[in-house]
Structure 1
């Protein structure tokens, strides 16, 4: 059995043979009958909006006219749309690698929608000339897109296509799992003895079939590169046929506290390790040292910052004016770039524009803005290097292999007096040395001569908030109070973005509306909005309504209550990923309103999760004849909870929600 690891690394040359009878899907493109529409519910998921009946792919190596091999990838998929929530299964994307004006070729695309109308099967074909579109993602990736025509609840859709590729290193991956359940997902690779690939398996699903057999095959290829004459070559070579099948694969839906579902779907990928032609062995596995050197030489990445860039001296001198230390100079340059440039794209690792144009236009992608920052820091004689990472929403990087397609973001690392500062000048509300949450996604790589690996882990950052509330009686019979709240830094980032977008008055209005209706807010201030180095502070003054009721019901948490459990599902198939360490403290000190006494207080509680106290919730409350003291604290030290710990985590949050919803009961005193 395959171990339930997120990632399993192994060589195709050493895959264990599984003794199992061959099993195949009997479906064929275009063979649809009325009975295929009968099934309305599938046992794999009775609530599914669509089901992929079969998804079958294969890759073979064929000799070509260039004296080498080409990859021929074929795919067939059939799906059943059960209701309108399943329409997304009809949106298809086909990625194609391209380089130096050459690209993989999409051939023989066919796509058909079938509907049962008055007991007869009607089909609508995709117009592959008019209804297939293309998006260029970056310099090495483009995507062909189409949507099936005439889809409706009950439709059956299927497509087939081929991709012909001369890029041997780009052996097609296979995704076994996704938004909709799959009854049968199969991938076959026929690999000649000349190539060795490392396989990268991801996900929690076991294979239904995993096997390989070896046979002998005749290959034909020709080569006319050397002369006007074409040389032809025929030879036999050993070929290993690999088969991977998953059956009844459940859908994987995005749930709360997930970086991206793509980190956990079951899939298999390949990395070319070596080429073993007769009398020649070539290790083609890239190293980070080589990749980093190549990146530093490329005009669309590192070459612009390797130059002296004396044309930036005026801007640097303007930015550092008045600064006397390197640290202050770095802060000034960072603030100058952050405050003068607008980011137009937050998911680019390569440069589309020159740094001169970025400076002129005062805008650019996050990579362009941060590369300009690096160039300016270097002009100021401050050590600075680009750091390439993958954001949380983009997915994990591979810890061993330099797979650049898994990276999508560039920041700056400045070194001053042996201290490193991570900087992102593309974010308008970030302080010096601060990064947005999305950057904390594990391993990143400094692109320098050493290709230094660094860790940006969620477990190294904390979001700590502290709320303090006082309620007291006045001599004129009123009950008034005040609240001060210091938000966590990452909460403050979100608040600042909201304030910039909607205005401070709307932000204050929203905060006021979150307070219990029995409180009349007389003053509300927000400070440190533009002090990006620190957290936002909120201050409020209020009066408590008292209509003379016999009973007063008061939740001691005037704000910041957890209204509902973020973990809805009864079980979870992949980890819970918290963005940071939580530490939230709320304290209330109040006078009991005149003429009232305590009828009931919530019970005190301390709940701990895990042997190592991965999370702790404290709820402490007490009273004397005139006052009530209340303090609650929620700490979550651990940021990654595997699926087997989900049930306990969910129950922990159930308790927190229930406890934070409890009320103090005050009763009017009876007259003597």
Structure 2
């Protein structure tokens, strides 16, 4: 990859500028003086202007390639907006010299000093390169001298040989976008489908014009008598063709607000994706590029770095034979191979649809990317006569594939099919269990690709609830109004996975601090975990605690919420309406039984009323039951969400459900002196 860093001070226009106000370098004092966004006072920053310009150019050696000019101006209102001064540009890397490159990178930060506009130039020490995966590099740059109220702007050019795979053009962000413009121009030889996304509508304008392109041709000329001389003759040639231009212009695009339980907010941003449908060059036949999901799965499976890896077993056969000696039960075979793969292989943290090392080399090294490890797992299972196949997955950070494309997937796991049951396995994480995938993989559906090249979709969400069961005994101390107690917890499913990932390698002090983080003024002691290292068993956690701020004494009466730190204290759903789904990752069920010893000399004046309410027909339930039993209070709480993902149309009901639950959990028990 090559970066060309431009130090020239010359200011210029983009080929398709809109107005003098948006010339590079022409930041106004009014923009710098603006204290908050006029349409969104909560915004930490705003995109004042974004322009994206894509054209096709031609190289004698490489043919057509894409050139994209990007120009962006951003207003920073406060310190929380400083992150918008950090930019990351993805550059895809292919085989040979088929790489994307960035050039002509320029940037400035503008600010007011003694009433005058000053600027600070982006220099080379603010630009960084890193390898994200084996096929992706990123260029990061951090704008200099960022302060509250400043304006930053930058521009750069990306050249790309990947005319079939074009990154989407984004028109909406998590901050307001005042004005955004796109111009995509393609020769008549290339026909693209356009895929619109997001809840803010936009119009695509189409136009065409004739373009003349000049290029050089070289021919060899042989001349002379007797002694033959060979010369190269360069000729200037031209070709005329129609260009089709697609343009989008939007103003006052509202911020896409990030809320709790969101999959990947970028899935719902208003944007436009170009998909190459076919090419038709003069004198040649039509070549189709648009594919079906079945075509995608076949092309991936037929790759050397995918399907071919599943044919080889002569490097692990002896190990598997020894592992399965005397084992005939298929379920036992599956678990033995799965645990063997997890123990043998170490994930290098690279995702990947295709192998990085190759399964044989990865096996010998004991490490590899996600494809190395999980394709190896599939090969081992097949060797043991298990009906195993790879599953193509898009991680949450990669987004949801909206149309058939190989680039829609970036991860692979294993599946074992047995009639109507499908077992999903990921050997990259040591804490993994069958059908309990790490949350980053719980992204709608994956595609199973079978040896006969057939494929089908499979849900990645678990069908069993993650469960937490907690029993807690409390004693209210009438002398200092503290509460002492003991808690016993039991976690299964994804709850157990989260506990193992959080605490498996933590020391005692780290565990204590993590447990106390969201517990208010509570000191926790005598912590004891069970089964953190023993998979396929519930994780158990016991501890003692003392709380110093739960009881409030007013006029001789004691007020406290008996759920203490088990109660949810703030509704995660805050906006009035939501335009994208609510993603809880997995179904969940929490059960609490809390027993409170009433201190001597006190009696119960009032307790919260028992209550029960549901979310939809069967999407969720909350039950709160309280009883007085011989000097004690016993509170039983059950909370369940039965659907991992709920549609946006249910948002108002979900918000109300959580409000009612939180209000109930915060209600007080009142004790008075007997």
Question: SS of the counterpart of 1:653?
Answer: helix
Structure 1 partner of 2:5: none
Aligned equivalents of 2:638, 2:130: Cα separation in 1: 49
Q: Does 1:364 align with 2:368?
A: yes
Aligned equivalents of 1:348, 1:333: Cα separation in 2: 22
Question: SS of the counterpart of 1:87?
Answer: helix
Aligned equivalents of 1:622, 1:311: Cα separation in 2: 64
Change (3 A) 1:466 1:59: same
TM-align CA RMSD: 3.8
Structure 1 partner of 2:478: none
The superposition leaves residues 375-397 of structure 1 with CA deviations (integer Å, 9 ceiling, x where unpaired) of 32233333322222122343212
8 Å CA contact 1:55–1:184 kept in 2: the answer is yes
Structure 2 partner of 1:535: 538
Aligned equivalents of 1:172, 1:514: Cα separation in 2: 40
Structure 2 partner of 1:422: 424
Structure 2 partner of 1:344: 348
Q: Does 1:382 align with 2:378?
A: no
The superposition leaves residues 473-520 of structure 1 with CA deviations (integer Å, 9 ceiling, x where unpaired) of xxxxxx999765432421111111223121468647865898899999
Aligned equivalents of 1:381, 1:607: Cα separation in 2: 49
How many residues align structurally? 634
Aligned equivalents of 1:355, 1:83: Cα separation in 2: 50
Question: SS of the counterpart of 2:315?
Answer: helix
Aligned equivalents of 1:288, 1:471: Cα separation in 2: 57
Question: SS of the counterpart of 2:571?
Answer: coil
Structure 1 partner of 2:584: 578
Structure 2 partner of 1:636: 641
Structure 2 partner of 1:620: 625
| TM-score of the superposed pair, with normalisation by structure 2 | 0.82
Aligned equivalents of 1:494, 1:301: Cα separation in 2: 31
Q: Tell me how far 1:299 sits from its aligned partner.
A: 4.3
Structure 1 partner of 2:660: 655
Structure 2 partner of 1:460: 463
Aligned equivalents of 1:533, 1:462: Cα separation in 2: 15
Structure 1 partner of 2:154: 159
Range with greater deviation from structure 2 (50-59 or 375-384) = 375-384
Structure 2 partner of 1:446: 448
Out of 232, 243, 249, which is 1:245 matched to? 249
How is 1:138-153 mapped onto 2 (pairs within 5 angstroms)? 138-153=133-148
Q: Tell me how far 1:127 sits from its aligned partner.
A: 3.6
How is 1:47-62 mapped onto 2 (pairs within 5 angstroms)? 47-62=42-57
Aligned equivalents of 2:26, 2:615: Cα separation in 1: 55
Out of 302, 309, 318, which is 2:307 matched to? 302
The superposition leaves residues 107-150 of structure 1 with CA deviations (integer Å, 9 ceiling, x where unpaired) of 3332223333334333333345x654333333443333322233
Structure 2 partner of 1:15: none
Change (3 A) 1:587 1:109: closer
Change (3 A) 1:559 1:193: same
Change (3 A) 1:407 1:59: same
The superposition leaves residues 237-266 of structure 1 with CA deviations (integer Å, 9 ceiling, x where unpaired) of 433322212212233343321222221222
Question: SS of the counterpart of 1:464?
Answer: strand
Change (3 A) 1:132 1:606: same
Aligned equivalents of 1:534, 1:506: Cα separation in 2: 23
Change (3 A) 1:514 1:44: closer
8 Å CA contact 2:31–2:75 kept in 1: the answer is no
Q: Tell me how far 1:345 sits from its aligned partner.
A: 0.5
Structure 1 partner of 2:104: 108
8 Å CA contact 1:459–1:638 kept in 2: the answer is no
Range with greater deviation from structure 2 (613-622 or 213-222) = 213-222
Question: SS of the counterpart of 2:66?
Answer: strand
Q: Tell me how far 1:273 sits from its aligned partner.
A: 0.6
Question: SS of the counterpart of 1:273?
Answer: strand
Question: SS of the counterpart of 1:460?
Answer: coil
Q: Does 1:91 align with 2:86?
A: yes
Aligned equivalents of 1:499, 1:441: Cα separation in 2: 25
Range with greater deviation from structure 2 (47-56 or 481-490) = 481-490
Out of 491, 498, 515, which is 1:487 matched to? 491
Out of 665, 668, 672, which is 2:670 matched to? 665
Aligned equivalents of 1:592, 1:133: Cα separation in 2: 62
The superposition leaves residues 598-630 of structure 1 with CA deviations (integer Å, 9 ceiling, x where unpaired) of 3212112222333x2533222222336666453
Structure 2 partner of 1:6: none
Q: Tell me how far 1:283 sits from its aligned partner.
A: 0.9
Q: Tell me how far 1:74 sits from its aligned partner.
A: 1.8
Range with greater deviation from structure 2 (524-533 or 323-332) = 524-533
Aligned equivalents of 2:27, 2:524: Cα separation in 1: 67
8 Å CA contact 2:473–2:486 kept in 1: the answer is yes
Aligned equivalents of 1:94, 1:361: Cα separation in 2: 32
Structure 2 partner of 1:118: 114
Question: SS of the counterpart of 1:654?
Answer: helix
Structure 2 partner of 1:329: 333
Aligned equivalents of 1:117, 1:593: Cα separation in 2: 65
Aligned equivalents of 1:595, 1:232: Cα separation in 2: 104
Aligned equivalents of 2:141, 2:331: Cα separation in 1: 52
8 Å CA contact 1:198–1:271 kept in 2: the answer is yes
Aligned equivalents of 1:339, 1:528: Cα separation in 2: 18
Structure 1 partner of 2:605: 599
Q: Tell me how far 1:564 sits from its aligned partner.
A: 2.4
Structure 1 segments unaligned to the other structure (5+ residues): 1-21, 473-478
Aligned equivalents of 1:434, 1:225: Cα separation in 2: 63
Structure 2 partner of 1:564: 570
Structure 2 partner of 1:499: 503
8 Å CA contact 1:489–1:536 kept in 2: the answer is no
The superposition leaves residues 137-185 of structure 1 with CA deviations (integer Å, 9 ceiling, x where unpaired) of 3344333332223333333322222233343224453111224322101
Q: Does 1:646 align with 2:651?
A: yes
Question: SS of the counterpart of 2:75?
Answer: strand
8 Å CA contact 2:605–2:670 kept in 1: the answer is yes
Q: Tell me how far 1:527 sits from its aligned partner.
A: 3.0
8 Å CA contact 1:296–1:306 kept in 2: the answer is no
8 Å CA contact 1:68–1:221 kept in 2: the answer is no
Q: Tell me how far 1:408 sits from its aligned partner.
A: 2.6
Question: SS of the counterpart of 2:656?
Answer: helix
8 Å CA contact 2:52–2:68 kept in 1: the answer is yes
Aligned equivalents of 1:614, 1:146: Cα separation in 2: 45
8 Å CA contact 1:382–1:414 kept in 2: the answer is yes
8 Å CA contact 1:113–1:148 kept in 2: the answer is yes
Structure 2 segments unaligned to the other structure (5+ residues): 1-15, 222-231, 476-482
Change (3 A) 1:461 1:28: farther
Out of 301, 320, 323, which is 1:319 matched to? 323
How is 1:460-479 mapped onto 2 (pairs within 5 angstroms)? 460-468=463-471
Q: Does 1:185 align with 2:189?
A: no
Out of 399, 404, 412, which is 1:401 matched to? 404
Question: SS of the counterpart of 1:311?
Answer: coil
Change (3 A) 1:482 1:115: closer
Question: SS of the counterpart of 2:319?
Answer: helix
Aligned equivalents of 1:114, 1:591: Cα separation in 2: 64
